[in-house]
Amino acid sequence: MLSFAAVGTRVRIVPAVMCSAGLAILMAAPHAQSPREPSLALDTRPILAQRAPILDVAVAPDGARLIVLEPRRVSIRRWNPSGDASDVVEQRPVQTDRVWPRDLRGRVDASHLPFDVFLPGVTCRGDLDPLRVACVDETGSWPGLANSGVEAARNYFTTPEGRTFSSAAPLPSGAAARWLVADRQGSLLLFDDKRSPIARLAPTGDDVAGARASCGGGPFVVISSRAPRDAGDVDELRLFRVAGNELVPSSSPLRLPGILTALWDATAVVHDVAADRYEAFQISVSCAR
Amino acid sequence: MTSRPIAMKLFRSAFLALANAAAIVAVASASRPHYGGTLRLETAGVIRSVDPAAPPADTAEAASRNHILPLVFETLTTVDSDLRLQPGLAASWESVGGRWRFRIRRGVSLHDGSVLQAWQAAASLRAANPSWAVDADGDVVVIDRAPMDLPWELARGRNAVAVRASNSALVGTGAFRVDRIDDRRIVLRAHDSYWNARPFLDAILIGMGAAPAEQLSSIERGETDLVDARPLDARRLAQRGLRWVSSRPRELIALVFEPHRATADQAVVRSALAAAIDRQTLAGALLQDRAAPAFALVPPWISGYAPLSGTMPAGVRAGVTALPAAQRSITIRVDAGDAVAQAIADRIVVDAREVGLAVAVQATSGLAPRPDVRIVRIPIEPSAPDRALAGAIAALGARVTGLAAADVSLPPGSGSDAVYRVEHALLEHQIIVPLVHLPDLYAIGDRVHAWNGPALQPTGALNLANVWIE
């Protein structure tokens, strides 16, 4: 789930653009909402940028290192609370003869050690101190909605029931809908706890993630989609509140500086095609009362 | 089982409940590429043979082959967007004592499911180039008696590897395989075992032989996803909200004077006409910024020269006025089927008037009175500068280049100095007058997207393996 950050000024959220430095530019305007209703915004903090594709970035359990997954290697960078990442201090190859799909997806689960790396048709187990990565050509279940991993030459998952999806975000227990799921065609669906669709939603999107804001409401989800054509070939993130079987827009879109290639919980990776550069960001929800 | 009816009911009610929500939440198109679907493409040329080495019947077929066949048949080397040689089916290469050795990439799957072997690549190259000595040594293709710049030569489409299968069909290694072909259309299917990752699309349906106007109407009606486009169509497409993809300039439009106007005593006329033509206006207003003014045969992005700008020499108008009236009248011939060339010729009529020349345009596809000058289209190969210029010289033909310069010999591997010298010699007497450089242009429909880069590479190669459709 995304974290939140309260901000001290009260603003009405208007279209936001993320500049290359990765900061959301929010313009203050007279507040039009009820005094008790929070104003929410998606916020970003840059983690690192590089020319080589980034598949995922995870903070190691010690909180002092970043584990960076690229198509052919796992690397380690030092990381400090101010958000500065060092150059690569250690790296190991992802050893496989597999041909990666064009839209390659990969994920690091560093919630424990040894950490896990997931790639289409390949799973790896990694350790720190020293860095070790051992990979095998087998498809394993990725974190999140139960699945049999990303299809080896594709970019989507399959549930045990055979349903395919691009992305899924967990929803709090208690409601009928337990997962927000983006299917392969970009439609958004709500799944129950048996992974059966119970509603098809109006917005479209390909990547979804759960989000949390302390200042009210929720549950929230972040959904990616293509920005309007006049913005160029870039994507944007939108924050929605899940209200029953509906999604209610909760902030203005956050325009990204390129194409979103990964959204794993609070980590987003963007490919700036023009600059041929990949940037990883931490996404959070900021709010003001 | 008992929960299913309830779930379905909820599903339906959600649909109704969200009808209003849809009105307030803008429906954005998807961003992550989707697998599947058929791309519908139209092209003006008719591809009569998919054999990469077969000569095209006309320029339209040549253009279509250049775009389509690389999707099916691949070369040992490739040229990237920065005009650098890159490995293709050959993982590496070396030259020792004039003998070239190209190591074939491991695990490349042919469309029939077998793995490409060096001897198959050697047989393909031998068939396309009978004068070369081509053999295989293990996983290496060995080539003797070949041009000095062989790695560049092997990047040309005509040297793509096409393997004769047992049923005599040609199979390749590319992202798509030929499923069906007839005289009106080609159906390509995704090559699931493509060594460079399966394409997103399942199939490409290529309609052939449609005139530019038909193609334009087709994409406007949403019946096609990708069509050849002309610079003249830019405004119309923009008004309809359609998008463009464009390569870097890779075709030259030039004037070429006929022999009776190529003599030394006609230099004033040639000089005046060359100086009078406003290339900026041709490229900008006329061709709607989809062209670049040309002052050289090879565009600057290939030659590396800074673009020159034309200046009007002093006394041009006076020199023209002093000529006999017959010499001040010029007939320009253009191909009747070439709307762009006709538009350029019509504009030249206006420019020429400024220096006292009377220009008439002769648009014909058959016999006609002898013109004074012709508008020609010269394809420019995205390659090393010497190869690009050599290709332009070959396209102009020996008759034209013989009139323009005494010596146009350009050995393979010539450096920039030699390229500049030969090009300068060809243009010095203004028998060949560059006008504009044109890119390859495609109009693309709403449902077409490209992943990680444009659908059309700067070199003009279609990047359809990375294209996906909604």
**In chain A, what residues touch B4 (CB-CB under 8 Å)?**
196
Q: Cα–Cα distances in Å, from A158 out to A140, A143, A222, B193? A: 11, 13, 22, 21
Average pLDDT, chain B: 89
Average pLDDT for B312-333: 85
A184, A198, A225 ranked by CB distance to B11: nearest: A198
CB of A277 within 8 Å of a chain B CB? The answer is: no
Look at residue B209 and tell me if it is in a domain.
yes
Of the candidates A35, A16, A34, the residue with the CA atom closest to the CA atom of residue A25: A16
Same domain, B434 and B450: no
**In chain A, what residues touch B195 (CB-CB under 8 Å)?**
99
B123 is written with which tokens? Answer: 């047989």
Same domain, B294 and B308: yes
Question: What DSSP letter does each residue of A186-253 carry, written as one string?
Answer: SEEEEE-TTS-EEEEEEEE-S-EEEE--TTS---EEEEEEEPPGGG-S-EEEEEEEEETTEEEE-S--
Question: What DSSP letter does each residue of A34-59 carry, written as one string?
Answer: -TTSPEEEEEEEEEEEESS---EEEE
Mutation for B interface: A51, A96, A100, A103, most B CBs within 10 A: A103
Look at residue B19 and tell me if it is in a domain.
no
CB of A183 within 8 Å of a chain B CB? The answer is: no
Average pLDDT for A143-164: 93
Report the SS3 class of residue B81.
Answer: coil
Average pLDDT for B155-178: 94
pTM of the model: 0.85
Residue where a domain stops, chosen among B130, B163, B196: B163
> What is the share, in percent, of chain B residues with pLDDT greater than 70?
92
**Structural domain span for residue B119:** 73-163
Q: What pLDDT does A267 receive?
A: 94
**In chain A, what residues touch B199 (CB-CB under 8 Å)?**
102
Q: Which of these ranges, B211-215, B318-322, B404-408, has the smallest mean pLDDT?
A: B404-408
**In chain B, what residues touch A259 (CB-CB under 8 Å)?**
31, 451-452
Same domain, B364 and B451: no
Cis amide prior to B458 (ω within 30 degrees): no
Look at residue B202 and tell me if it is in a domain.
yes
Average pLDDT for A171-198: 91
**In chain B, what residues touch A199 (CB-CB under 8 Å)?**
10-11, 14-15, 18
B13 pLDDT tier (thresholds 50, 70, 90): very low
**In chain B, what residues touch A197 (CB-CB under 8 Å)?**
7, 11
Give the separation between CA B45 and CA B396, rounded to whole angstroms: 21
DSSP 8-class letter at B264: G
- Above 80 in pLDDT, residue A14? no
Enumerate residues 195 to 254 of chain A having a beta carbon within 8 A of any beta carbon in chain B.
Answer: 196-207, 224-229, 235-236, 245-249
Q: What pLDDT does B307 receive?
A: 66
A198, A229, A259 ranked by CB distance to B10: nearest: A198
- Above 90 in pLDDT, residue A120? yes
The CATH number for B412's domain is: 3.10.105.10
> What is the share, in percent, of chain B residues with pLDDT greater than 90?
74
B324-343: pLDDT as tens digits: 888 899 999 999 989 999 99
Average pLDDT, chain A: 85
A128 is written with which tokens? Answer: 């720190």
Contact A245 B14 (CB under 8 A): yes
**In chain A, what residues touch B10 (CB-CB under 8 Å)?**
176, 198-199, 245
Give how many domains chain B has, as a whole number: 3
Nearest residue of B to residue A53 by CA position?
B452
- Above 70 in pLDDT, residue A38? no
Contact A227 B28 (CB under 8 A): yes
Average pLDDT for A76-104: 91
Q: Which amino acid is at B252?
A: L
Q: Which of these ranges, A173-187, B233-247, B284-298, B299-313, has the smallest mean pLDDT?
A: B299-313
Mutation for A interface: B1, B4, B8, B32, most A CBs within 10 A: B32
Chain centroid to CA A242: 18
User: Pick the residue with more confidence: B63 or B364?
Assistant: B63
CB of B4 within 8 Å of a chain A CB? The answer is: yes
A218 pLDDT tier (thresholds 50, 70, 90): confident
Average pLDDT for A215-220: 81
Same domain, B61 and B94: no
Q: Which amino acid is at B303?
A: S
B37: closest CA of chain A, how far (Å): 11
CB-side neighbour CA atoms (13 Å) of A251: 32
Q: What pLDDT does B367 receive?
A: 79
Same domain, B122 and B262: no
Average pLDDT for B149-162: 96
- Above 80 in pLDDT, residue B16? no
Same domain, B102 and B191: no
Q: What pLDDT does B308 receive?
A: 63
Same domain, B156 and B287: no
Look at residue B168 and tell me if it is in a domain.
no
User: Pick the residue with more confidence: B10 or B100?
Assistant: B100
A48-87: pLDDT as tens digits: 999 999 999 999 999 999 999 999 999 999 988 777 889 9
A37 pLDDT tier (thresholds 50, 70, 90): low
Q: Which of these ranges, B7-16, B113-122, B397-406, has the smallest mean pLDDT?
A: B7-16
Q: Which helix (H) or strand (E) holds B351?
A: helix B339-353
Residue where a domain stops, chosen among B163, B190, B210: B163
Of the candidates B175, B48, B42, B171, the residue with the CA atom closest to the CA atom of residue B116: B171
- Above 90 in pLDDT, residue A15? no
Look at residue B14 and tell me if it is in a domain.
no
B11, B28, B33 ranked by CB distance to A204: nearest: B28
Mutation for A interface: B11, B24, B31, B240, most A CBs within 10 A: B31
Q: What pLDDT does A11 receive?
A: 29
Contact A102 B107 (CB under 8 A): no
Give the separation between CA B176 and CA B465, rounded to whole angstroms: 8
User: Pick the residue with more confidence: B286 or A212?
Assistant: B286
B168 is written with which tokens? Answer: 């005599």
Same domain, B105 and B204: no
Q: What pLDDT does B404 receive?
A: 86
List of residues 6+ apart from B447 with CB closer than 8 A: B225, B469, B470
CB of B466 within 8 Å of a chain A CB? The answer is: yes
A161 is written with which tokens? Answer: 């029931």
B141 pLDDT tier (thresholds 50, 70, 90): very high
B125 pLDDT tier (thresholds 50, 70, 90): very high
Same domain, B188 and B303: no
CB of A147 within 8 Å of a chain B CB? The answer is: no
Look at residue B346 and tell me if it is in a domain.
yes
ipTM associated with this complex: 0.82
Give the separation between CA B270 and CA B316, rounded to whole angstroms: 10
Same domain, B467 and B419: no
B309 pLDDT tier (thresholds 50, 70, 90): low
Same domain, B139 and B232: no
Same domain, B190 and B230: yes
